Amino acid sequence: MLRIENLHAFYRGNEALKGVSLDVGQGEIVALIGANGAGKTTLLNCVSGIHTDMIGQITFNGKNIAGEPAHELVKQGLVQCPENRQLFGVMSVQENLEMGAYLATGEIQGVSLAKRIEDMFLKFPVLKSRRRQLAGTLSGGEQQMVAIARGLMSDPKLFMLDEPSLGLAPIIVEDMFRIIKEMKNEGRTILLVEQNALAALALSDRAYLLETGRLTLGGSSTMFVKDDRVRRAYLGNDIDVEHIFDDLLD
């Protein structure tokens, strides 16, 4: 579905991505893990058309999309849920959701805007009781739910999540991972950037490791969890490899 080939990205001449190639298949959850500053957000921003100082090939469903503006890509089903949520703080929860469907022009695959909002409230009941509250006054966890719901409003073909658990209390983090797992069960294709590498690996089919602008490892998430280097740098040594998948996903 998504294929990136030899992508280089720059900030005023500084190279943040140094020849990255990866792909995401239909229905897959692919995790992108890496330390702070590795270039994860830059990569998502290149794909979604937000970061334009780049060279390389990006194809989405067989079509070259490199250089296309972000709003065109949203129409094609490529949607990013940005780091730090970036909600419209002075708009209500409901208005934020409506903004998510803005480019989808009212009806999405025959489903009305009102129905779609109701669907989101079924999925995130806490948001229903807060539908008129200004998004900027919600808790961090609630804001993250709005950000995800806003992205889902346009029924993305590929949903890119940038650090959905960032800054949330542990119990809310668990909720967030449950929501991602639900999306996985619904068959949604997701590219997931997460600092919480263990959870990201438990949720994903495949993973890539990004280190200072280069992919240094790629493979099945099960293989990642067992990889010595990944364990040392990102998971710690004390985890019980045999049980983490069960524990996290039950």
**Least spacing, CB of residue 69 vs ligand ATP, in Å:** 19
Is residue 48 within 8 Å of residue 76, measured between CB atoms?
Answer: no
Interface stretch with ligand ATP, choices 35-43, 127-135, 183-191, 238-246 (CB under 6 A):
35-43
Strands of the sheet containing 29-33, edge to edge, are 78-81, 158-162, 189-193, 29-33, 206-211, 214-220
Pick the binder of ligand ATP from 34, 49, 141, 164 (CB under 6 A).
Answer: 34
Q: How far, in Å, are 11, 108, 147, 154, 159 from residue 162 at the CA level? A: 19, 24, 11, 17, 10
Q: Does 41 bind ligand ATP (CB under 6 A)?
A: yes
Cα angle 151-224-241, degrees, rounded to a multiple of 5: 105
Choose between 155 and 194: whose C-beta lies nearer to Mg ion.
194
Q: Does 85 bind ligand ATP (CB under 6 A)?
A: no
Select the binding partner of residue 154 from Mg ion, ligand ATP, none (C-beta < 5 to 8 A, by kind).
Answer: none
Sorted by sequence, the CB contacts under 8 Å of residue 67 that are 6+ apart come out as 49, 52
Is residue 26 within 8 Å of residue 139, measured between CB atoms?
Answer: no
**Least spacing, CB of residue 196 vs Mg ion, in Å:** 13
**Least spacing, CB of residue 93 vs ligand ATP, in Å:** 26
Helix (H), strand (E) at residue 201: helix 197-203
Select the binding partner of residue 100 from Mg ion, ligand ATP, none (C-beta < 5 to 8 A, by kind).
Answer: none
| Residue 207 main-chain phi, psi, to 5 deg | -145, 155
Select the binding partner of residue 161 from Mg ion, ligand ATP, none (C-beta < 5 to 8 A, by kind).
Answer: none
Pick the binder of ligand ATP from 4, 29, 31, 40 (CB under 6 A).
Answer: 40
Interface stretch with ligand ATP, choices 38-46, 112-120, 128-136, 219-227 (CB under 6 A):
38-46
Q: Give the closest residue to 100 by CA, choosing from 72, 138, 127, 74.
A: 74
**Least spacing, CB of residue 172 vs ligand ATP, in Å:** 19
Number of neighbours of residue 13 by Cβ within 10 angstroms? 6
Amino acid at 21: S
Select the binding partner of residue 53 from ligand ATP, Mg ion, none (C-beta < 5 to 8 A, by kind).
Answer: none
Q: Does 130 bind ligand ATP (CB under 6 A)?
A: no
Choose between 45 and 94: whose C-beta lies nearer to Mg ion.
45
Q: Does 164 bind ligand ATP (CB under 6 A)?
A: no
Distance CA 201, CA 196 (A): 9
Name the site residues for ligand ATP (rule: CB under 6 A).
11, 16, 34, 36-42, 83
